[in-house]
Amino acid sequence: MAEIQQEKEAIAKKGNFLWGKGKMDGFHASPLKIRKRLWERRGPPRENQGESNRLSAYAADSSVRAIIGSRFKDRDTFLMILQRGIKLFAGMSLPDLYPSSRLAMLVSRVPGQMKRYREERDAFMDAAVREHQENRAADDDKEGLLDVLLRIQREGQLQFPMSIDNIKSAVGDLFAGGSDTSATTLEWTMAELVKNPKVMGKAQDEVRRALAGQPKVTEDSLGGLNYMRLVIKEVLRLHPPAPLLLPRECMNDCRVLGFDVPKGTMVLVNAWAISRDPAHWDAAEEFIPERFERGEVDFKGADMEYTPFGAGRRMCPGMSFGLANAELALAGLLYHFDWELPGGAEAEELDVTQKMGVTVRLRRDLLLVPVQKLIFCKPQYPKNHVFFGVSGKEVGTCWGLLGPKEKMTAKVAEALIRRFDEPLTDEDIAIIAKLTRLDPDALRVAGGMAGPEGGEETAA
């Protein structure tokens, strides 16, 4: 135990290099791209264009950015290889059913597919390591996990040497385990929020109050989003990303609930069933984020009735990163959009049938319609610029931007505002007028409200 503690302290001295506060924003170019894709969508979502695929792309890209870094030119190919490996790992094969049968190994194609996958993954990891080693001196980007591990290996101050093979294995495992679980959590969160509109409204109100006036979500703006965190906790209770966690090996002969468990037995813990056990949870099958308000139960491994990340020394090492990843994405989705089911379907009609695998996903792709909300943003540009969100169900003009010498007339304002789903209120007008220094009467005319006829030209 003393040696393990010394090892942890040695790594800690290298700095809070990745998972700590303030480290997430550098890895999150992808949420802006997702927002742009949602803005550009017109009409009801088509097959394979739903939120499940977009959330998967976001989670995978964020993981790649954090672990490998944006400098890796073959990142997209690397991503496809790892996704294929996850599918192979989740599938059933003859050697799984008959592990002692040599005939099963010979007949099945899976062992050969796994071998080819491992060779391809190792080749890409070798390329990534070489690329980082060659370009490190000339590159001043933020460090990814691979950079940090290479630096620790180079400085050689650990009690146990770290080999290149150790680094490749750690990086590959972290990405394979992190991308799919993050996407699963986000997918189930959006599904549960759509099914529970009151919870959705409460979470959106909190996010929009906390981020009022900001053009985008950053890690620093997440501090006051307590209810949103309760929502994520409840999703992790009902839908743990890895419902059976990772296999454990029994180190000694033991007796559990009257059953003898020999040494060497592979043990699976059904975290999904435990977190829905009525003996530990009131209204166990209902989605009630408020159950965590008192903070009596947490997922850090001390409460065995709630272990979405496992427990003990082998609990998930990427827990902090995964949570920050999910919080940033969810805050952005709630801040910028309202969400509806296609075709005006009711919340009760949402199909939440589960698809089993390493992670439990929705059987059908999650198809939602994003409705852009009016978000008032403080000017982020030189003096006299105007910057505010404009759009509705049919996303056309997403942002209005006037230069310092341009002028706003009622006609121009109407062209920008005409796509709002609902008429502007007096409060809306007051906020826009304050942020843009436009004439409130001209804005009322543009927004279809009662006011003086016409509208004089007003300088932006």
Q: How confident is the model at residue 86 (pLDDT cuts 50, 70, 90)?
A: confident
365-385 tens-digit pLDDT: 888 888 766 554 444 433 333
Q: Where are the beta strands (DSSP E) in 245-404?
A: 248-249, 254-256, 259-261, 266-267, 337-340, 354-355, 361-362, 369-372, 386-389, 399-402
- Which of 219, 187, 209 lies closest to 201, judged by CA? 209
pTM: 0.71
Q: Let me know if 8 is exposed, middle or buried by CB neighbors in 10 A (0-12, 13-18, 19+).
A: exposed
Q: What is the pLDDT of residue 46?
A: 46
Mapped onto helix, strand or coil, the DSSP state of residue 273 is helix
Count of H-run helices and E-run strands, the chain: 16, 12
Structure tokens given for 446: 């543009």
What are 17-46's pLDDT values in tens digits?
444 445 555 444 444 455 555 544 444 444
Give me the pLDDT at residue 14, please.
Answer: 38
Residue 368 to residue 391: CA distance in whole angstroms? 17
pLDDT of res. 457:
34
Q: How far apart are CA 188 and CA 177, in angstroms?
A: 17
Spell out the domains of the chain, with CATH numbers in brackets.
2-70+141-372 (1.10.630.10), 386-459 (no CATH)
- Annotated binding residue 316: yes
Over residues 130-178, the pLDDT tens digits come to: 777 776 655 555 677 788 888 888 887 777 788 888 888 777 777 766 6
Query: Who has greater pLDDT, 229 or 444?
Result: 229
For the chain, report the end-to-end CA distance as a whole number of angstroms: 66
pLDDT in tens, 311-326: 887 788 778 888 888 8
Q: Looking at residue 381, what is its pLDDT?
A: 39
In 3D space, the residue among 204, 454, 172 whose CA is nearest the CA of residue 338 turns out to be 204
Is the pLDDT at 193 greater than 90, yes or no?
Answer: yes
Provide the sign of the torsion angle of the four alpha carbons 390, 395, 399, 405, taken in this order. Answer: negative
Distance CA 146, CA 175 (A): 11
Cα–Cα distances in angstroms (integers) from residue 82 to residues 85, 174, 187, in the given order: 5, 11, 20
